[in-house]
């Protein structure tokens, strides 16, 4: 359930992370990388 909630909360950041090359996503929350 955490993965789903985190995915929604980081939905906007997700796009930014991909464009930035996994900057804040992997650095701040490893869950972001796990989702991918």
- Alpha helices of 1-36 — where are they, by DSSP H? 2-9, 11-20, 24-28, 30-35
pLDDT at 4: 75
pLDDT at 1: 60
Return the pLDDT at 26: 60
> For residue 30, is it left (φ>0), alpha (ψ between -120 and 50) or beta?
alpha
pLDDT of amino acid 14: 67
- Supply the pLDDT for residue 11: 72
pLDDT at 31: 59
- pTM of the full structure: 0.24
pLDDT in tens, 1-36: 677 777 777 776 667 666 666 555 565 565 555 554
- Cβ atoms of residues 24 and 13 within 8 Å: yes
Residue-range domain boundaries for the chain: 2-35
């Amino acid at each position: 359930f955490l993965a789903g909630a985190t995915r929604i909360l980081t939905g906007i950041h997700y796009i930014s992370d991909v464009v930035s090359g996994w900057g804040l996503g992997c650095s701040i929350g490893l869950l972001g990388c796990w989702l991918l």
